[in-house]
C-alpha cells in the first residue's frame, strides 16, 4: 500500500506534490482507506510556512475530488435500471429508493455538500445519487460546490496551523488535524440536530 502521507512530505518542494494531491483526493472519493484529509492538511501546513502554494493545493484537491465524485455517480447511473428492476413496488427497498429520490429533489444541494465532509457519507451519497437518476447537470453543480468547499476547509485548517506554528511543523500539523476534527464534529452535530427536528416536525404534523 502506498504511504500517501510520506510521499506527499517527500515531494513538498516539488511540483509533483500537486499531482499527488489530485490522485489522493480522486481515489478518496470512492476508496474509504485513502487518507486524503491528512495529506491535504499537511500540504496546507507547509503552505503556511511558504513551502507550498495554498491556492494550488486547494485547486489540485478540488479537481481530484470533483473527478472522483463523478465515478460512483456514473456507476450508479449505469446500474440504476437493474437495481430498480429488483425493487418491486410496495417493497421496503423501493420505498427507500423513492424516499431518497424525493429528498434529492427537495434538498439535493444540502445533501451533497454536507455528506462531502463525512467520509462514509460521501461514498453512499454519490453512488445513491446516480442510482436514482439524479440529473447530471445539477449533480455536477452541487458537487463542484461541495468539493471546492471541502478542499478549501481542509487545506486552510492546515494552513492556519502552519502560520501559527511556523517554527514547529509537527505541532502545526497536529493543530491542523485537530481543527479538522473539531469542524467535522460540529458539522455532524448540526446535521444530527436538523435530522431530529425534522423527525419531530413530521410526528407533530401527523398528530
Say if residues 66 and 32 touch (Cβ distance below 8 Å).
no
CB 150 within 8 A of CB 65: yes
Q: Is the pLDDT of residue 180 over 70?
A: no
Q: Within 13 Å of residue 34, how many CA atoms lie on the same side as its CB?
A: 18
**Cell 491535504 belongs to which residue?**
40
Handedness of CA 38, 41, 47, 53 (dihedral sign): positive
The residue ranking higher by pLDDT, 153 or 200, is: 153
Mean pLDDT on 81-101: 72
For the segment 3-45, what is each residue's pLDDT rounded down to a tens digit? 888 888 888 889 999 999 999 999 998 887 888 888 898 888 8
d(CA 32, CA 53): 27
Amino acid at each position: 500500500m502506498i504511504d500517501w502521507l510520506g510521499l506527499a512530505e517527500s515531494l513538498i518542494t516539488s511540483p509533483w506534490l500537486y499531482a499527488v494531491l489530485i490522485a489522493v483526493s480522486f481515489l478518496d472519493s470512492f476508496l474509504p482507506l485513502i487518507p486524503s484529509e491528512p495529506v491535504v492538511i499537511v500540504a496546507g501546513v507547509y503552505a503556511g510556512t511558504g513551502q507550498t502554494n495554498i491556492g494550488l493545493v486547494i485547486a489540485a484537491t478540488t479537481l481530484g475530488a470533483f473527478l472522483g465524485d463523478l465515478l460512483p455517480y456514473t456507476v450508479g447511473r449505469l446500474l440504476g435500471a437493474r437495481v430498480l428492476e429488483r425493487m418491486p413496488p410496495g417493497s421496503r427497498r423501493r420505498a427507500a429508493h423513492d424516499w431518497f429520490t424525493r429528498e434529492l429533489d427537495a434538498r439535493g444541494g444540502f445533501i451533497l455538500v454536507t455528506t462531502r465532509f463525512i467520509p462514509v457519507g460521501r461514498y453512499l451519497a454519490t453512488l445513491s445519487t446516480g442510482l436514482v437518476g439524479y440529473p447530471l447537470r445539477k449533480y455536477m453543480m452541487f458537487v463542484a460546490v461541495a468539493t471546492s468547499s471541502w478542499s478549501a476547509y481542509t487545506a486552510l485548517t492546515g494552513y492556519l496551523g502552519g502560520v501559527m506554528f511556523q517554527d514547529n511543523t509537527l505541532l502545526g500539523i497536529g493543530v491542523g488535524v485537530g481543527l479538522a476534527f473539531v469542524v467535522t464534529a460540529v458539522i455532524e452535530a448540526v446535521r444530527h440536530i436538523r435530522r431530529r427536528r425534522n423527525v419531530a416536525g413530521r410526528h407533530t404534523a401527523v398528530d
